[in-house]
Amino acid sequence: MQNTRSIISINELEVVYNTIYGQVRALNRVSLSVAQGEVYGLVGESGCGKSTLGLSISSLLPTPPARINSGKIFFKDFPITDLSDDELMKIRGTGIFMIFQSPLNSLNPVFRVGDQIAEAIQVRIQRENKHFNLQEVYNYGPIENQGFKSAWNESLKKSRKGLRNWKNSEVISEVLSTLESVRISDPERVANSYPHELSGGMRQRVMIAMALSLRPEFLIADEPTSALDVTTQAQILNNMKSLVEKYSTSILFITHDLAVAANISNRVGVMYAGSIVEEASVYNLFKEPLHPYTVGLLKSFPQGNKRTNKLFSIKGEVPNLASLPPGCPFAPRCSQAKPKCYNDRPQLIEVERNRKVACFLYE
């Protein structure tokens, strides 16, 4: 599963929000990398920073109030943290794409669904054109290099010519076939509908269809199934799996639902209060979790029936990021906390191959 080449790698990313209560550190030196064709499940409870991480990668953080304090994000070894909007445009879409939780708001209400997918197809075609080579652009190295911009503009100019050769009917038939591939039975009707005329599950499938037509190398899915019913959720998960199989897209799947993460991920990271506390292959994480928080989360997931199985519940509440204790953020809720845990912050270290945990129990 582990591919040598990572599509996204994040290095010691720290994001802070300026709020009326002072500075809140939403991400505390988070590092992770996602390989090609891999589905990385990012699990955590509300307010742990998992959405902030997703928005940072797609460079959609609302700045201000958010600010990247330190750290870097690399897309295929190319730093994207300091890019301007114009430069980011070239990476977004076919490079990085994102699906949001609310399927109602992520489609523009005043355009027909088909037009919005067609737009995505046109973006891809523009870049897929044989004159257009993303790699060529990256080879110019860091953005300080003047070559980057000119190489980009050059290839864009050439590819515009290519776009004109595309007949509209071809785009339309691709819209319909993409909708069909996400198992929408009447693609013509759906393509001609406005978003509000479709159900939530249908809209989310349209978003997946958009992803399918962009064929991004990296897809960030922020709780894409949380607002949906189980049968629809199962279908969306299936559609996402086919995205990985067809185009070997890498996915960062952000969710609060352990079960969903177990179902779709190859590797899982558990976040707590702005840090990743454990990271392992999906099998290891669910079969033998190490961090007390992961253990607690799994034990508090309702399974079986109340007569046979008493649910474990982690005591206390998710901490407020504005006033984190100095030591391990989980220490106040941890049943195995030692005095050291209240003073020093454990680092995320590799305890086995491909297995990391941030806990003094495993040092």
Partner 1 sequence: MEIVNVTNLIKEFPLSRGLTDILSRKRKTMRVLDNVSFSVLEGETLGLVGESGSGKTTLARILLGLIKPTSGKVMFKGEDIFNLRRLNKLEVHAVFQDPDSSLNPMMQVKDIIAEPLFNTKMSKKDVDENVIEILSKVGLTKEIATRYPFELSGGQKQRVAIARALIKKPKFIVLDEPTSALDVSIQAQLLNLLIELQGEFGLTYFFISHNMNVISYISDRIAVIYAGQLVELGTVDELISNPLHPYTKLLWACVPRPDPETKISVKDFGEVPSLINPPPGCRFHPRCPYAMEICKSISPTLEKLNNIHLVACHLFSRR
Partner 2 sequence: MSVTTFVLRRLFMSIFVLLGVTTLTFIISRVVVPNPARAWIGPKPNPDLLKALMKKYHFDEPLYMQYFYYVIGLFTGDWGVDPYSSIPILTEIRMYFPVTIELTILSSLISILLGIPLGILSATHRGKTWDNAVRLSYLISTSVPIFIVALVLLLLLGYWLKIFPVSGQLSLNVARPPTITGLIMVDALLTGNLNAFIDNLYHMILPSFTLALSSFGIITRLVRSSMIEVLEMEYTKTAKVKGLNKNKIFYKHCLRNALIPTVTIFALLTAYFLGGSLFIENIFSLPGMGRYTTQALLMFNIPAVMGTTFLFALIIIVMNFIADVLYALLDPRIALE
**3 state SS of 27:** strand
- Min separation Cβ 98 and partner 2, Å: 5
Q: In what order do the strands lie in the sheet with 275-281?
A: 96-99, 218-222, 250-255, 39-43, 267-272, 275-281, 355-357, 349-352
Q: Please, which residue, 146 or 313, has the CB nearer to partner 1?
A: 313
- The dihedral formed by the CA atoms of 107, 111, 114 and 119, expressed in degrees to the nearest 10: -80
d(CA 92, CA 85): 10
Does 257 bind partner 1 (CB under 8 A)? Our answer is: yes
196, 306, 307, 315: which one binds partner 2 (CB under 8 A): 196
Binding mask 156-195 for partner 1 (x = CB under 8 A): ---------------------------x-x----------
Residues 282-301 that bind partner 1 (CB under 8 A): 282-283, 286-287, 296-298, 300-301
24, 42, 123, 221: which one binds partner 2 (CB under 8 A): 123
- Min separation Cβ 298 and partner 1, Å: 6
238-245, long-range: CB < 8 A, 24+ apart: 238/183, 239/182, 239/183, 239/205, 239/208, 239/212, 240/39, 240/208, 240/264, 242/181, 243/208, 243/211, 243/212, 243/219, 244/37, 244/39
Q: Quick one: what does residue 96 bind among partner 1, partner 2, none, with the CB cut-off 5 to 8 Å set by partner type? A: partner 2
Per DSSP bridges, beta strands 355-357 and 349-352 are antiparallel
Binding region for partner 2 (CB under 8 A): 58, 60, 62, 64, 85-86, 89-98, 100, 102, 105-111, 119-120, 123, 127, 194, 196-197, 207, 210, 214
Binding region for partner 1 (CB under 8 A): 45-46, 183, 185, 199-202, 229-235, 237-238, 256-260, 262-263, 282-283, 286-287, 296-298, 300-306, 309-314, 317-318
